[in-house]
Structure 1
Amino acid sequence: MADHFRIAREHGLLTIRDGLVPGHQALSRLGAARDAGVQAIWDLSHYHRNQDPVRCARIASEAALAVNGNEKLWLCPVNEPSLYPMIAGMPRHEAVEMAVLMAKVARDHHPDVGILTNDPITGVGERQFEATDAIVSAVDVDVVGVNYYPHTARTSLVKVLLATWRRYRKPIMVSETSWHDGHPIHHRRYPGLNKGGWLRHVLEQVDIAVFHGAVVARVCWYPIVDCPPWHRPFSGDRWSHGLIRSDLSVDPNLSVELSALRFRAAA
């Protein structure tokens, strides 16, 4: 984690998404982020059945107090609740209920908790918003996350961001996006692009949405580290969708684009 955070910081990335799911050592992970000088948004459940969501939220909150005092704790209680029926075998309504419960428990045990929702919102149809609607109606959500990838997009990111902003009137975050070098649909839909080109495209779409009135807080490249295929988690293979490779080298196209963004921000 220290190496990953160091490389992220070197590219101007000071906020990251990571996990405090059951089985992770909360104190050590929180400490690693603190020592690296990055702010984290922590997932509490990521495609698995959390057998004790109350305990999970309490441990994360109490560990954050121990490591960072009263500093704001950012949580994404459940990653992509709409996909839980397909991936975790948990009905969507149970995933939503788990997200609401963990958000409330975290706020019972920590004085300053920010809540991010995130779900695949790739179009503007009503079903796209069902899980987010349910969470927002039950919890005071701070930021609404939109997960948007090249292979699942049904309409432009501009339309998605504007529809989401008008629906909730809360800050929007592109909470997941990335480019997979080996994904044929990415190359078919967006010929000639690479990771750097996709990031430019996303930021251009964000700028247009902001021009038309949307409040967009952040864009998260996810994952930042190349990881094994979802369906073969113990494989030695890595999907090429991150900045950081398994040998700690970096993707040159994304690295150059991030460095250029950092330079323009500094100027």
Structure 2
Amino acid sequence: MHQPSLFESFLLGGFECSNHRRSDGRRLDMLDVTGHVEWASQDYALLQQFGINSVRDGLRWHLIESATGQYDWSSFLPILKAAERQGTQVIWDLCHYGWPDHIDIWRPQFVEHFARYAASVAQLVKDESDAVPYYSPLNEISFWSWAGGDEAYFNPMARGRGFELKHQLIRATIAAMDAIREVEPRARFVQVDPAIHVIASNDRPGPVRDAENFRLSQFQAWDMLCGELWPGLGGAPQYLDIVGVNYYSDNQWYLNGPVIERGSPDYRPLRGILSEIYHRYKRPLMVAETGAEGDLRGDWLRYVGEQVWLAMQHGVPVEGICLYPIVDYPGWTDERHCPVGLFGFPDANGQRPIHKGLADELKTQQARFDPSAEPAVLTNLGHE
């Protein structure tokens, strides 16, 4: 069985850090509205009480580079220092759907801007820490290309340009990785995208080939990075490092139809999805995002944990599971309270309520995946 070694804890916490512009032009800032900007140090310390020593967190490029080539680190440095102070290992999202308004994402200069910014981030992180740094350059290239390039759901609010946007994001990722490695050759990278399963409906016979082509589209960005698809973009094996798999309960559906429910005979077990991805790329994996809402939180983690454990028993090198988001957040489009986290919104003193159902299941998964965790830590789990 594979023995994970990359992260300080197998269970990670992910802080929602989207900062894109919605279709109505409003820019989101999830790190701010969830209270994490203000309470980062306390958030990291609280996670450590729950045996979580590694996290996904992010930068807000639009705040850092408000003018071309001029970097203001005041929005990032306090979070970086808080992580160092608490001894928390971080995978830093360099761009979570948002970029500065003065940069045109469709132009070649976008790639150059992003590479310079990435190098500057790498230098700052290197100056502040001796640890091996982890980065996720551009979050969910496939989803972003679809949502922003085909559906005009959020920026750049285009239709029919998804493949073009995907090419641009691949170029930018490659340039950023080269720039970071010039600064810090030890850097590791997590390339994150959703894992999906799509089939034609049994009760409404549909185009089986179309469904399979849709399913296979999940691999395009990873294939481009490693040079198997559109090699003229510059992809090569060294640009695919750790494959980050995002997986939620609605990641399987019938083509042009409803979600495939977990109890359905058409539902593909997660262990099979992870195995297929591993055997395609032969890279270490992590479940980079997973979670559920409300009272389903604990049950969903139980399912994901069981499936990951089974995959690992069969030699799939899964390095971690990231609960995402680890704190509740307001919905992107309607600002509704999304009860998804281990922790809720903070009070005036930065104290966050704990969801007992998820905490109880986390205790079980900690015992399975992190058996060396301190017993004193495990006894804290599950308490309000």
TM over 0.5: yes
State the distance in 2 between where 1:174 and 1:263 align: 18
CA distance in 1, matches of 2:119, 2:78: 16
Does the C-alpha gap of structure 1 residues 109 and 11 become closer, same or farther in structure 2, counting only changes over 3 Å? same
CA contact (8 A) 2:305 2:365 kept: no
Cα pair 1:171 1:216 within 8 Å, conserved: yes
2:299 is matched with 197
The C-alpha deviation readout for 1:181-213, integer Å capped at 9, x for no partner, is 2xxxxxxxxxxx621111110010011111222
AA at the equivalent of 2:137: P
Out of 129, 139, 142, the position equivalent to 1:79 is 139
Any idea what the Cα deviations from partners look like across 1:142-171, whole Å, max 9, x if unmatched? 210111000123532112101100000011
2:243 aligns to what?
A: 144
Amino-acid identity (%): 30
Give 1:1-267 correspondences, 5 Å limit. Answer: 1-22=40-61, 23=63, 25-49=75-99, 51=103, 52-69=113-130, 71-85=131-145, 86=147, 87-89=154-156, 91-123=165-197, 125-137=215-227, 138=235, 139-154=238-253, 155-181=268-294, 194-232=296-334, 235=335, 237-247=336-346, 248-263=352-367, 265=371, 266=373
CA distance 1:127–1:263, shift in 2 (3 Å): closer
Aligned equivalents of 1:14, 1:118: Cα separation in 2? 20
Distance 1:158 1:101, change over 3 A: same
3-state SS of the aligned residue for 1:174?
A: strand
Verify the 8 A CA contact 1:82 1:92 in the aligned structure 2.
Answer: yes
* AA at the equivalent of 1:47: Y
Displacement of 1:6: 1.5
1:190 paired residue number: none
Q: How far apart, CA to CA, are the structure 1 residues paired with 2:290 and 2:365?
A: 17
- Measured after TM superposition, the shift of residue 54 of structure 1 is 2.0
AA at the equivalent of 1:84: W
Alpha carbons 1:82, 1:131 under 8 Å: kept: yes
Are the equivalent residues in 1 in contact too, given 2:177–2:239 (CA < 8 A)?
A: no
Kindly tell me the number of residue pairs found equivalent between the two proteins. 252
Aligned to 2:379: none
Which position in structure 2 is the counterpart of 1:188? none
Q: Structure 1 residue 263: deviation in Å?
A: 4.7
* Structure having greater relative contact order (Cα 8 Å, sep ≥ 6): 2
Maintained 8 Å contact 1:21/1:56: no
5+ residue gaps, structure 1, are 182-192
For 2:169 and 2:86, the matched residues in 1 are separated by 32
Q: Residue type of the partner of 1:75?
A: Y
- Structure 2: stretches of 5+ with no match in the other structure: 1-39, 65-74, 104-112, 148-153, 157-161, 199-214, 228-234, 254-267, 347-351, 376-384
Q: How far apart, in 2, do the equivalents of 1:126 and 1:262 lie?
A: 33
Larger radius of gyration: 2
Q: What root-mean-square deviation, in Å, do the aligned CA atoms of Structure 1 and Structure 2 show?
A: 1.9
Is the CA contact 1:27–1:67 (under 8 Å) kept in the aligned structure 2?
Answer: no
2:60–2:98 contact (8 Å) kept in structure 1: no
Question: Can you list the C-alpha shifts for 1:41-89, whole angstroms capped at 9, x where unaligned?
Answer: 00011112464212320221011111103x2110000110012231333
Contact 1:81 1:119 in 2 (8 A): yes
Aligned equivalents of 1:37, 1:131: Cα separation in 2: 33
